[in-house]
Structure 1
Amino acid sequence: MIVTITGKHIEITDAMRAHIEDKASKLPRYMNLVSQVDVIVEKSTGVMQSVEIIASVEHCDDVVARESGEDLYACIDLAMHKMERQLRKLKEKQRDNKYPSPAERERQSEPTQIQEGEAL
């Protein structure tokens, strides 16, 4: 997985880079098909800073999470948490729609038994 970190109006320190890479390395736990993660850190006017995370997922649209605030590390953590939730939700959607579960397949293959004397 490729992690690209970009700073707009802010210099990315080694500590920031290590924190972002550590958090981004955990994203494939939630979705195996994450091929690239782009992180954009931007310093806005005053003390506000924003973080935007864009995850490229194979066979899907990009997943985007944004967060703004005064504390950069808190913004990174909150944006990564949003990304984890979105990837988990996307994985559940794909799993639910693609194949029925083994229990559902078993229920579908079993013929229904009709009791004698029951009317349809």
Structure 2
Amino acid sequence: MDFKITGKHITITEAMRAYAEEKTSRLPRFYNTVSLVEVVVDGDQTAGKISVEIIARGEHSNVFVATEAAEDAYKGIDAAVHKLEEQLRRKKTKERNNKHTGPWPEPA
């Protein structure tokens, strides 16, 4: 899985990079076709909030996006990863349910 982190109006420290990479490395556990994870951290100086957007790209043009605003970048990463885990879990459940619908009906 490829990982990319970008900071807008904020400098990304090595600790923040390692933390985001550690948290997002668990995402393929929920949906195994995740191939690229992008984390965008945007620091808004006027409001004092930091917004975190995580974009996970999977096979067959599946794109999952989670956005969270928090006072701390680490809290924002945690909340956005949690939202993304829920999205991936729901998608995998839908695929499993559609896969095992039963045999085709016999023609009359």
Q: Does 1:58 align with 2:59?
A: yes
Task: Output the amino acid matched with 2:17.
Answer: R
Moved over 4 A (4+): none
Q: CA deviation at 1:69?
A: 1.4
Bigger-Rg structure (1/2): 1
Q: Which residue number in structure 1 is paired with residue 71 of structure 2?
A: 70
CA distance in 1, matches of 2:23, 2:71: 19
CA distance in 1, matches of 2:90, 2:71: 28
Matched-pair identity in %: 52
Q: CA, structure 1 residues 72+6, in 2 after alignment: closer, same or farther (shift >3 Å)? A: same
**TM-score between the two structures when normalised by the length of structure 2:** 0.89
CA distance in 1, matches of 2:47, 2:100: 51
Provide, for residues 77-117 of structure 1, a one-character-per-residue CA deviation record: whole Å limited to 9, x for no partner. 000000000000000011111233xxx66xx9xxxxxxxxx
CA distance in 1, matches of 2:50, 2:94: 33
Q: Does 1:46 align with 2:18?
A: no
Q: CA deviation at 1:65?
A: 0.1
Task: Output the amino acid matched with 2:43.
Answer: K
Q: Which residue number in structure 1 is paired with residue 7 of structure 2?
A: 7
CA distance in 2, matches of 1:58, 1:96: 19
Q: Does 1:29 align with 2:60?
A: no
Higher strand share: 2
Consecutive unaligned residues of structure 2, counting only runs of 5 or more, are none
Q: CA deviation at 1:60?
A: 4.1
> What count of residue pairs does the alignment treat as equivalent?
103
